[in-house]
Structure 1
Amino acid sequence: MSSASLDLNGYTDLPDDKIAVVVTFLEMTEAPDAPLADDRQDVSLERWRSPDAAEYKRLFREIGEDWLWCGRLALDDDGLETVLSAPGLEVFTPVVNGRQMGLLEIDYADPENPELAYFGLVPSAVGSGLGRWLMAQAVRMVWSRPQTKRFWLHTCTGDSPQAIGFYRSCGFVAYKRSIEVMDDPRATGLLEKDKGPHVPFLAK
């Protein structure tokens, strides 16, 4: 396992097969006073129980490969299905005209502090208002549980630049930052080399 000293007041060089992102943690400590979005008749929220690994990875890629989502892709099928069937994890997908348009995962492993584990839309749904509707469903479900004290999530500079603004507009407040260094998923073969052009690919 390699390591390097991080310069907190300057630059720290990384190997070409690594990427670094700044992670921002956000939290919501009470339910919003009003619903985040109006009801919609054109979309339904469906619980995805025991997702098939191949179908899940297909949707996960469609949503996240441009933003270098890779954590679930690194798991083999058996490992992924074990993760997705873990007690406390609930997986949902918004469905429009029979098509899955996004992914919502809430982890209740700590019932007082549920985590928004994954949240995203397929590219064609971005900008349609579906994201705010989906977040409204998440917030409603989380705060309907009397044990909830805090709803939290994290996002990073590898993700959409709109993400933090969206989460803050929904009532989340930033409370911590971290730096995450990881293998570039394009260098390991998890993603194609043309994905995530906002994070230039350097490995040869």
Structure 2
Amino acid sequence: MLSAGFHQVPKGHVTTVVTHLEMHAPQTRPTPEIEGVSFKKHDTVAPSDYRKLFRRIGENYLWFSRLHLSDEELLEIFGNPDYDLYTLQRAGEDLGLLELDFRETGACELAFFGLDDALIGTGAGRYLMTQAITLAFQRAITRFHVHTCTLDSPQALAFYMRSGFKPYKQEIEIAEDPRLSGDLPMTAAPQIPVFP
């Protein structure tokens, strides 16, 4: 447990405040479909295509966790019958990502949720969240949970709360800076300083 006050972060690392949220019953709002955008379930995906979308959506927020996984590890996750992968597509191009993890009995984790900048402000986020909540509670779950952090979009936490998730815990995470490890380019997330 950290004591109150300032704590020095090791050089070469980034620090974020992680907020955990949950809902116990579906809470959806009427959401119109987005013209020209389709919602697609993927039974499998080529790891290279997945990494491209993952970086496209998350690079500006230093998403890196999936970049450490091998092709085999990614395919094992996506091949699990209790793990669902969806995208939002426009003109056949993946621009939104939704991953639902049902591997914990009675629960679903909103593992990844994000949009390419081209869809921000179009209503696509609300549409994708409605799909997520509906799909999660179609299974026998009593808890739908997600976490977000201060490295994510500044809009993320408020968006999850507006969607019906309630915060229940916060943590501090310290991780190696993925720009220094080469997982992401040094130009990623310029709003977050690098301390080599």
TM range (shorter): over 0.9
Q: Counterpart of 1:29?
A: 24
Question: Are 1:194 and 2:176 an aligned pair?
Answer: no
Report the alpha carbon displacement of residue 64 of structure 1 after superposing the two structures with TM: 0.3
Q: Deviations over 1:55-77 (max 9, x none)?
A: 00001000000000000111122
Verify the 8 A CA contact 2:34 2:122 in the aligned structure 1. Answer: no
Higher strand share: 2
Verify the 8 A CA contact 2:98 2:114 in the aligned structure 1. Answer: yes
Secondary structure in 1 aligned to 2:114? strand
Q: How many residues of Structure 1 are paired with residues of Structure 2 in the alignment?
A: 196
TM-score (norm 1): 0.91
Q: Percent identity?
A: 37
Question: Are 1:47 and 2:41 an aligned pair?
Answer: yes
> Which runs of 4 or more aligned residues in structure 1 lie more than 3 Å from their structure 2 counterparts after TM superposition?
none
Q: Deviations over 1:25-64 (max 9, x none)?
A: 01111112x5341234532211111210000000100000
Q: Deviations over 1:74-96 (max 9, x none)?
A: 11222222222233110000112
Distance 2:68 2:41 in 1: 24
Q: Counterpart of 1:148?
A: 141
| Gaps in structure 2 of 5+ consecutive residues | none
Question: Are 1:9 and 2:4 an aligned pair?
Answer: yes
Distance 1:48 1:73 in 2: 19
Verify the 8 A CA contact 1:20 1:182 in the aligned structure 2. Answer: yes
Partner of residue 85 from structure 2, selected from 81, 91, 96: 91
Q: Counterpart of 2:103?
A: 109
Distance 1:176 1:98 in 2: 38
Q: Counterpart of 2:175?
A: 182
Distance 1:142 1:7 in 2: 34
Verify the 8 A CA contact 1:36 1:170 in the aligned structure 2. Answer: no
Verify the 8 A CA contact 2:60 2:188 in the aligned structure 1. Answer: yes
| Gaps in structure 1 of 5+ consecutive residues | 1-5
Partner of residue 62 from structure 1, selected from 51, 56, 63: 56
Verify the 8 A CA contact 2:31 2:126 in the aligned structure 1. Answer: yes
Distance 1:158 1:65 in 2: 11
Distance 1:68 1:154 in 2: 15
Q: Counterpart of 2:153?
A: 160
Verify the 8 A CA contact 1:89 1:107 in the aligned structure 2. Answer: yes
Report the alpha carbon displacement of residue 161 of structure 1 after superposing the two structures with TM: 0.7
Distance 2:30 2:169 in 1: 24
Q: Counterpart of 2:69?
A: 75
Q: Counterpart of 1:3?
A: none
Q: Counterpart of 1:131?
A: 125
Give the aligned CA root-mean-square deviation in angstroms. 1.4
In structure 1, what residue type is equivalent to 2:155? Q
